[in-house]
Each structure stands twice: as C-alpha cells, then as structure tokens.
Amino acid sequence: MNDRAVCLDSAIVEQRQTSEDYFLDQDAYHTDLSRIMGGRHGSAFKAYIQSKTIQPLLLLGNALDILKLLPAASVDFAMTSPPYWGKREYENGGIGLEADYREFVQALASIFFELRRVLKPTGSFWLNIGDTYSAKGLVGIPWRIALELTDNQGWILRNSVIWNKVKSGMDNTKDRLANVHEHVFHFVKQPKGYYYNVDAIRSKLRQARVVNGAVVSATGVTGVRYKRQIELSTALTDEEKKSAFAALDHMLADIAAGKVSDFRMVIRGQQRTTHSDCAKVSGRAKELRDKGFYFLKYHPNGSKPADVWDIIPEDAQYRVAHFAPYPVDLCRMPLLATCPQGGIVIDPFCGTGTTLLAARHLGLKSVGIDISHRYLELAQERCSGLP
C-alpha cells in the first residue's frame, strides 16, 4: 500500500479509501511525530478532543466530506474565509471555480449546512467573504450567501461586520471606486442562549475623576451643562425639573462610586431622542414623554466594539504560497466574544491556518480542514513555534 506518513507535530490526517485500522497515540501526538492513516477523520477528531494538546488538528480533504464524519454538536466556534468566486485558482482547485455564481453559493451553502450540524446550539459561526465583479457588475456574493443561510437553513444573523482594510490593493479601474472592505457575518443557531462574553471585548474607558470638588466623567461630563439646561427649560414642569435635578445628582454619585463610567442626559426640548420620537415603538421616547428626561449610561467596563473594524490585511506573510490570508486580528474579537474557555474551534477552509493560530494564542483547541497539503504544512509551521 502506498501510504504516506505525515511527520508533523500537528498531525495532518489524510482522506483515503482504505480498510486499514486507525491508530493514534495521544502522547506521541502531543510530543513526537505522528503517523495517522486511513479515511478516519471522525476517529482522529474524537481522539483529539479527548487529548491534552492544544496544537491544531489538521484534516486533509474536502470540507463537506470531512464535516459529515464529525459528531453533531461537537464544536463551539467556527470561523472561516472560503475561496472567493472567480478570483483565482487555488491549489488543488476546489470551490470558487464554478462557471456560475449560483453554483458557488450553493456549494458553500451545502458545507455550511453540515457545519451547522457540527456546531453546538450555543456556538457561533463567523464568515468572512469578499465580493466579485462579473460583466462589470458587483455580484453581491456575501449577501447572497447570508440570505441563503438565513432563509433556507435556519441560521440567525446577529451582525454584519464591515472589515475596513484601510488600504486597497492594485486597482487600475477608472469607472468605479476602489474596494477596501469585506463582510464578516456572525451567525448563530438559536436566538437566545448562545455563548457571548461582551465584557471580553470591551474597550476600557478612562476613569472618572474629581476636579476642584466636582465629579468629572471619563469624557469630561460634569453635569453643569445639564443642570443649566434643566433650570432654563420651558418644556419641563417644575415637578419634572425637581425630579431631573435629583436624578442627575444620583447619576453623578454613581460616577464617583465607579458604578457608571460615563453618561449622557437627554432632556425634553434640548436634545433629540435616540432612534425614534414615537413612544409606541421607543421606550426612551416614552420615558422622555412621561418624565421629561432619560439617561444613556456607559458600561463601567468600557464600551463594546462597533460593527466596523479597521484592520490592515497581512500582505506579506505567506503571500508566496497563499494569496489571501486574512489577518489574525480579524479572528481575535470573535474568538474572545463567542468561544468559551476550553472550547473547540473549527475552520473548514483553514488555508495557512490564521484562525487556528489565533485560537492557539488563546489556548484553544482547533481543527483545520483544507484540500491543500501544502497549506496545511504552512499552518502547522505557523502554529508549531508557539509554546
């Protein structure tokens, strides 16, 4: 039998048609060279999640076929950046070479349907996908995929993040703008109860302080302006003014005590309401109508990130072997927010292993699937140098 041993610290399990028994020494897997044979990706996966190592498990083969071999509800987090449609020919061909974009969308949808089965109910799936021009028209690939997943597979789309790549690549077109963004979609399987740790990704604000006896919030709010607006208001009754002064003093006390890091006060007739002026659809508008004011409180642990991320692509690293490695920084926030400690990460189009590397930095187990042996070797190389 012409079976090739893959001598890597992070074992590459090859997809083969054979009846040969599968064997995995977990200690050898972690510290020494491994020899894993046969079309037994499911067995390799089960052995890996029971082992102590956090070096990635690398599975060589077709993503759809391999996902079908993995147990249901067995991974906590998935993030991937599949080949883009019609952009270039990747090693070993594969998805992205379809003649029609509809075939491309359906091919990815089939894989993500199987990924949904493998993902735990509490899990999250983050998808980075770029768009393509065809016959001078932008095809809208990202949203075609997103709508296919939500409309026909039951995925729930929680966020559409804009990845602002800050700078564009070589673009010599003279009849349109340069493209500098891509989409990163966050999908879940259920509307509530999925894992989400927003505190892990908050930006710590400056602390409130006391200046000349007056409380000053993290962004310099002292309450003096609001007190003056309340005092001079013609839209508030005397009773509402009294209530507003008391509430403002209470808020400043919370600032001083560290219960709130910052705030804004919206006063009837002074500031415009947020979102909607209609009390039927907005609780804040109702509060403004009934009380004459409301507060916007900043979380004491800082603000949560918005849905536009300014992250420069990793232009040079591994460019010779892999044309589109998305940056490690793009993976960190999703991992921190939606993968629990001890969770299992999977990337069905792992390429040179960016998702796996980000997971490895955070001490998480990860599984990468790819049809390119060379890409998996590069992924192993990137992760093997970490302690």
Condensed to tens digits (0 to 9), the pLDDT of residues 67-84 reads 999 999 999 999 999 988
Residues near 76 by Cβ (< 8 Å), separated by ≥ 6?
A: 119, 120, 122, 123, 195, 339, 340, 343, 344, 345
The string of DSSP codes covering 148-161 is HHHHHS--EEEEEE
**Where in the chain are all domains bearing CATH 3.40.50.150?**
12-200+306-384
Residues near 387 by Cβ (< 8 Å), separated by ≥ 6?
A: none
Tokens of 5: 């041993």
- Residue 31: its pLDDT value, please? 30
Tokens of 86: 């019609």
Task: Assess contact for 251 and 263: CB atoms under 8 A.
Answer: yes
* Fold topology of 12-200+306-384: Rossmann fold (3.40.50)
- Give percent of the chain above pLDDT 70: 76
Closest-CA residue to 160 (of 137, 181, 138): 181
pLDDT (mean) for 45-50: 92
Please say if the pLDDT value at position 316 is more than 60. no
Q: Which of residues 91 and 378 earns the better pLDDT score? A: 378
Highest mean pLDDT among 65-79, 190-204, 259-273, 312-326: 65-79
Mean pLDDT for the chain overall: 81
List, in sequence order, every beta strand (DSSP E) within the chain. 12-14, 57-60, 75-80, 119-129, 133-134, 137-138, 156-164, 181-188, 209-211, 214-216, 262-267, 293-298, 308-310, 344-347, 365-370
> Which value, to the nearest 10 degrees, does the dihedral of the CA atoms of residues 156, 45, 351, 61 take?
-100
**How far apart are the C-alpha atoms of 335 and 337, rounded to whole Å?**
6
Hey, what amino acid is at 129?
A: I
**How far apart are the C-alpha atoms of 55 and 41, rounded to whole Å?**
16
Please say if the pLDDT value at position 302 is more than 90. no
Q: pTM score, two decimals?
A: 0.76
- Residue 384: its pLDDT value, please? 83
Please say if the pLDDT value at position 5 is more than 90. no
Rounded (10°) angle between helices 224-232 and 238-257 = 170
Please say if the pLDDT value at position 202 is more than 90. no
pLDDT (mean) for 208-219: 61
Condensed to tens digits (0 to 9), the pLDDT of residues 132-156 reads 898 999 999 999 999 999 999 999 9
